[in-house]
């Protein structure tokens, strides 16, 4: 499954590291695609291993409770070794 999240402010390099670390620690997350200066993050995951709710909770735990999500299209395969 794939899901996009929107942030209220542009992401800095430190945000990228925190978000990637928090999400790649979740079982089933296959890829996270985001860029410094952007406001969007794309997550590809195995819906049998995790959920958008678990991802949203991980975002909140990392300090990004304002992220809004919506189901997404394709993904690059990302940085989680998926």
In this model, does residue 78 exceed pLDDT 50?
no
Q: Is the model more confident about 74 or about 33? A: 33
Q: For residue 68, give the H/E element and its range.
A: strand 68-71
Evaluate whether 30 touches 82 at the Cβ level (below 8 Å).
yes
Q: Tell me the C-alpha distance between 80 and 66, whole Å.
A: 23
DSSP states of 30-50 as a string?
Answer: EEEEE-TT-SEEEEEE-TTT-
pLDDT in tens, 14-53: 999 999 999 999 999 999 999 999 999 999 999 999 999 9
Q: For residue 2, give the H/E element and its range.
A: strand 2-6
Q: Please tell me the pTM assigned to this model.
A: 0.80
């Amino acid at each position: 499954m794939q899901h996009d999240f929107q942030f209220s402010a542009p992401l800095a390099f430190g945000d990228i590291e925190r978000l990637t670390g928090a999400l790649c620690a979740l079982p089933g997350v296959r890829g996270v695609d985001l860029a410094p200066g952007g406001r969007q993050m794309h997550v590809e995951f195995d819906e049998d291993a995790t959920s958008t709710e678990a991802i949203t909770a991980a975002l909140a735990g990392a300090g990004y409770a304002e992220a809004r999500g919506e189901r997404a299209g394709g993904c690059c395969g990302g940085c989680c070794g998926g």
